[in-house]
Every structure is written in structure tokens, then in C-alpha cells.
Structure 1
């Protein structure tokens, strides 16, 4: 099924100074209706492809170039260990496309769920964070569940930050009332007795897990059920805490040694133009981590597992590494299968192996054009408001895939 990309709001943060390329929220693309053959790939003359202004030269990204960039890479590394809401409760089968997932500045990720104006005061040693966000309904008619995992230099600073962050958020409204999380007595939490919502800050190792739940329907109906909120917080922590315990944070004095790429995935992607609107920096992840960025996690999970995909990267395109070439070709088709919301568009000039589609659905902020292609073990997906740009991106990406060893 085609993953629709939202036209995300620009977030002009330090990310823009660190990396000139960034990823889109959802794993967009449009897929093939046929399996690609080796003869199709070898018959393509790369010199005749229209790649626009996209750079197709092979590159090696190497180590981080600044502390800010290192913090971003550390947050992305953490992301491979943060459960998606679907793993916590299958009801949370939808994502929120307007949430910054990777962050070093909380005001661009957490400002809609907690008071962040005193964040630096409460958590001065914060390193980086990764946020997981899910919904039971595609729109604001169900329950929202968010877990933000925050990294700190040591256990003591994480413990202090959990208490301080809850305190400053509690003080932001005189309607907040302290509550206890029965299974996690060390958690700091509060809610407003007139609203079906809760916030919890729990320190575990070098992390603080901030859990936020908001039940739109109960709020609309003016109903509250505190036991239900507490049970969901506990269920969420039951999944998150043991999972992030498997992640080993980088010692602060070793951050500048972090490598930007993972298994050469970002080396195989074209850079995204600065003009694109964005929420998250570029990144390379385990394939399953892509579920944090797509708008249909259950569908994407089935396709990723079917293809045996093990890596995912997002930059100027979204890129998956599948089990083999046949699986990559199938993944291109599965992730980009046509529905009634799309119609076929012209393939890029001299690249018949690629497919392009136009979105004709009713999502007002959706990106309009999508192209996809597979090569060897890789399936790539581009998206743009202009068909020519989507075609040039996928042509450039195909060139990069062929040329990168």
C-alpha cells in the first residue's frame, strides 16, 4: 500500500546547520506492478537519465563533524530500541505525521504534550531524544499514546531530571494533580481530574521515559477513567523499559567518534534539498524502525517482514535493503501498490524500471507525486509536489545505487 507523505511543517532548528539533507515523516513511494529482471537493469544507460541537480557521485560520510550532529546520531541509534506503539497495544495502528521523532531541542518535539519553557532548567544535561507516537484512530477521535525516551550522561542525572521535568510541567497548571503509577512507584506522574489525559516521567538507567496519553473521545464526552490511564501507562512502560535497556548509550567523551552511517545505507541515498520542508534529520536505521516514520505501521510491517528487509534509510529518498534482489523488487511493489487514491504517472525518461504515481485522494497536505525503483537488494521511494522532481530524484537514486559499491 502506498505510504502517503504529509507536507510537514519546516522546523528550522540546529539540524539545518548540521546536515543539509533531511528525511520525510512517512516511507513514501509508489511501487511496481511487475517483478524487475536483471536484463532491465543492465540495459539502462545511466548517462541518459535526467537527474536534475541531484548529486550522484559515491560518497563516504565518515564520523560526525560536530557535537550537535553527534547528538542527533545518538538519538537515531536509540530509535532502533524504542518500541512503536503498535508493539505496546495493537489498537495504536496509526501514526501522527506532524511529530518530530528525532530531537535535541525538545520544543520541536514535546511542546504540544508538556511544558518545555523550563526544560533546560529541569534537565540541563539532556543529550538527545527519540519519540514514538501512535493513535488508535487516524484522526483525533481516539487515544494518542506517546513515549519520548531522553538520554542523560548517567543514572543520577536521569533520576534527577525525571523528578524535575514532572515538577515544572506540574507547576504549569493549577489543575494538575499528582498520581501514582502502581507498578512503577518511582515514576513521577500527574493528570487533570477533569480530562482523560496523563503524563508520566520514569527514570531507568541513563534514560527518562516520558509517557503521555490523551483520550480525545472521553475528553469530548467529558468522561474520565483514571484506572484505564494508569493501566495503559504501565503497559507502555512494560514494553519500553526492557527494550531500551538493550541500548548502550555512548559515553559523553566518545560522542565525536560516532559514525554517521549504518552499513552504508546513507551512502546509497541522494541528499535532500534544503528547500524541502522537514521534521527529522536524515538517518539510517534497522528496517523495523521505519515504522516510527510511516503512516500505516501494520501494513508497512507486513511488507518489511515479507521482504526480509534489515535496513532502512531516509534522506532525499527512502531506501530499504531487502533479503535479495527479488525481495527488493517485491517490496517496491508492496509498499507502493496502487489504490483508488492514486493513478499512474509517466516513468522517468529512459528509466522504465521505475514507476510513478499521482495522489488523487482527499488528504489536503499530502505530497502529490511518488516514484519508486529497485536495484539489487535495494528498494527506493521518492516523493515530491512536482512530477519531474520525483522522477529526477528516483533517477538520481538509481544512479547512486548502481555506482555505489
Structure 2
């Protein structure tokens, strides 16, 4: 089971924050939603909730594992903190409570048998632009129920290794790091893929590096294979291990006791309907650092978060950002949602201060409709395949905020 597979894609669609710029400046942009006269009774909210609701868990164990992974995401480094050239986040499943192939590089056929005692994991992926060589780093941490289980899993996962054809396995090389001799490292020079599994207490630090540009040079220009990127792998382990010093994994017998909404933002976030696939695959929240994992350009997002005092982001049938105050929310609203392929459409009936757009661009996986609105210190965004549905979602999200007492 894999969660959050679409975060990075959606982040690029409408959260590519660029500080200092603003799109579609027109009547209503930058106004405080509370200053507009909105008759909640006239909003079309469909079957969506319109009042704050405490989150509930259909499967308490799975939900607890997701919450533990989100806690982990709040301390893990984004790619640019490992290597400044890794400026853009890319597609990867962030929270995972089952097999994760890390962008398809790893063989997951034996994942369950390789990982007894696995609790949860958090993964993030970043990529360097073409001018820097276009290489990517998948960086993840897996939590196990014991140190012994983590150590055995690291060895087993390395043994299963890459997803390769039989005739490709002959080129596989085992490496050892001088800095981290306990790491299990494999390298495929022809494909320019490196993977490392480093056990550290109850954790396994997973590093997957793909040197796409070098692979292209070999394939099409018969270039000599580049050396294994050991320095980047070592740096990923170093930075991640240092961040984990501040993280205390929850004892396995206590994990179901983790609070569902400790900061109170999920009760204000539009709930995701059962079976809905147009939003994140779980309700959850990340702090201002954790939310950087899903921004297209994390360092640009970090600057905007600091500027507007963002401290928390809730995810459900949409996304709810909590800023410092209403003025900061207006600044975020007028700055954050920039995409040249988004074109303004009418606001929903009865909610003139919502900003709605339709996507016209090259990404086939893009959601065609997105709407944004502010209320007090909050900025909400929702997206859908259907215009009426996105209107109902943003109207319901506004009603939830307005009905909070």
C-alpha cells in the first residue's frame, strides 16, 4: 500500500511558489474573505461537509502508521539540504506503509518477506536541473519495530536490489563506504543507478541516486561510465542521520495512541470523501518544514513560508495552509499560486473572492480545475477533474472555516 503518490505532481500544478510575483491580479485578489458578504446558505457545497469535524480513522493501525510517517517527514531533509543543486522536488510516494519501488528503480517483489517488523516510512525525491547534469536523489527513512529487524531488512533489501532483467544483473557491483561501512550499497554503472540501505537503530536510511544525464551519454554517445556517486550517498546519510537525532520513534505498542489532529488543523480541512482519488490519499498534516517536501521548489517555498509565517499545512480533499495572520494569508494568496498554464475562470456562485483557474498545458496528469480562497489566517486550495466539483469543494471549505466557532 502506498500513499501520497501524487503530492509532487500537484505541487507543481499549483504550488510552485515564486516569491515576489503575483498572477491574475484582478478584483477580489488580496481581499480578506471575511470582509466580503458571503451568504453561506446560498453556496453550492454539494454533499461535502460544511462544518468543522474531528477526524476519524477507519483503520486505526494504518492511520497511526501514516501519522508516524508524517512526524518523520517533519524532520527529514529536503533534497536541496543534501545538495544545493537538487533544486526541484519530483514525483515520489512520500508516506508509505508498504512496498515502495522509489520511482521504479527497486525490485519490490519480495518487499514483505524482506521487511518483517516494518512500521512506516517517509520518502522524498529531488532532481538537479539539466545544466547541473539532471541527476536525482530519492532519500527515505524506514522505521522498524526493533534494531535487529532494521539491520536484517537493510541486508535483505540490498540483496533484492534493483528491478533488473536477468542479463542486466551481471553488471551489478557491490560497494562499501569508508564513511558508513555498515551501509549496504549496490551500483549499476551502465544504468548509472546507486542504492544504499544504512541501518541505524530502528531506522533504515534508504538512498537511491539516478544519474540520468550520464546514462544518456553512455547510451547515445558511447561515453565512458561515470564513477559511482559515493560522495552524494554519504552526504545524504550524514544529513539524514543528523536530523534523526531530534526524532524519537514511537514505541510499537504506543503507536495507535498517536493523536489524529494534535494541532487542530484537520478539523478545519475539507474531509476527503470515501473512495475519492482527486486528492491526497489520507488526511494528515505537516509542519512548515515537512510541507517543503511537496513544494516544487523547496527553497523558494521556504522563503515564502518565512515571509508569511506558515507553520502548518493540513491535507484532505484539498490543502489548508495556516499563516501568521490574515494579512499574511492575503500575501500568501497573491504570491503562492503561480503557473503560466493556469487561466482564470469565473468564481463559484456566491463566493466572488475565490480564485479559480483552468489548466491549459503539457502535463497530461494535471487536474484541470483548481480554486483558492482565504479566510482569516488560512489559505485553502482544492482541485478536481470537474468544474462544478471544484466549485463545491472550495465553497464547502470556505463554509467550514466560516462556521468555526
Quickly name the TM-score band, shorter chain normalised: 0.7 to 0.9
Contact 2:280–2:317 (8 Å) recurs in 1? no
Residue 168 (structure 1) aligns with: 160
Residue 341 (structure 1) aligns with: 341
1: CA distance, partners of 2:278 / 2:130? 22
Structure 2 unmatched ranges of 5 or more: 16-22, 219-223
1: CA distance, partners of 2:257 / 2:347? 42
Contact 1:29–1:382 (8 Å) recurs in 2? no
SS in 1 for 2:397: helix
The 1:258–1:39 alpha-carbon spacing in structure 2 relative to 1, beyond 3 Å, is closer
1:68 to 51, 59, 62: 62
TM-score using structure 2 length: 0.87
2: CA distance, partners of 1:285 / 1:171? 32
Contact 2:105–2:162 (8 Å) recurs in 1? no
Paired residues in the alignment total 383
1: CA distance, partners of 2:5 / 2:79? 24
Whether 1:255 aligns to 2:272 is no
The 1:70–1:37 alpha-carbon spacing in structure 2 relative to 1, beyond 3 Å, is closer
SS in 1 for 2:372: strand
Q: CA deviation at 1:349?
A: 1.0
The 1:68–1:353 alpha-carbon spacing in structure 2 relative to 1, beyond 3 Å, is same
Whether 1:197 aligns to 2:193 is yes
2: CA distance, partners of 1:212 / 1:310? 30
Deviation per CA, 1:303-330: give whole Å up to 9, x if none: 2221110001111111111011110111
2: CA distance, partners of 1:121 / 1:247? 27
Q: How does 1:318-337 map to 2 (within 5 A)?
A: 318-337=319-338
The 1:76–1:32 alpha-carbon spacing in structure 2 relative to 1, beyond 3 Å, is farther
Whether 1:37 aligns to 2:29 is no
Whether 1:91 aligns to 2:92 is no
Residue 4 (structure 1) aligns with: none
Whether 1:394 aligns to 2:389 is no
TM-score using structure 1 length: 0.87
Residue 95 (structure 2) aligns with: 102
CA RMSD, aligned part only?
2.6
2: CA distance, partners of 1:76 / 1:357? 30
The 1:55–1:63 alpha-carbon spacing in structure 2 relative to 1, beyond 3 Å, is closer
1: CA distance, partners of 2:329 / 2:180? 43
Contact 2:6–2:93 (8 Å) recurs in 1? no
Contact 2:102–2:208 (8 Å) recurs in 1? no
Residue 177 (structure 2) aligns with: 181
Residue 309 (structure 2) aligns with: 308
Contact 2:278–2:384 (8 Å) recurs in 1? no
